[in-house]
Amino acid sequence: MIIIESKRKKPETILKKYPEVIVVDVSTSMLAQDFKPNRVEALKEIAQDFIEKRPNDNIGLAVFAGEAYTQCPLTTDHTVLMNHLTVTSHLSPPHVFTQRT
């Protein structure tokens, strides 16, 4: 990238924003209680704080337990993202994502 500046103005700081995906292990091992009440709930608190500190970022949510699933695609709608994070549990895959025929 080339920045051309005039002698009268200071160069602007260019901020680069990268998409971020929160990846959550939702296997039964995450029910361990070494964090209270369990690992999944502790992680959700940390993830919520992470999201709140990035109000304009494009963030997605993926979960895995043997296989990976997109819980929420990249979005700047953090209300939707938080709703998906709130319902994330050790039961998330594949029950939520299996298409019924």
Residues of the chain falling short of pLDDT 50: 1-6, 11, 13-15, 94-101
Q: Is residue 98 part of a domain?
A: no
Total domains, the chain: 1
pLDDT, tens digit (0-9, with 9 covering 90-100), for 22-47: 998 888 887 788 888 888 888 889 99
Distance CA 72, CA 88 (A): 11
Tokens of 71: 């819980």
Q: How far apart are CA 88 and CA 50, in angstroms?
A: 16
> What per-residue confidence (pLDDT) applies to 96?
46
> Is 42 part of a structural domain of the chain?
yes
Does 100 map to a domain? no
User: Residue 98: its pLDDT value, please?
Assistant: 43
| CATH number, domain containing residue 69 | 3.40.50.410
Domain assignment of residue 14, yes or no: no
Structural domain for 77, as ranges: 20-87
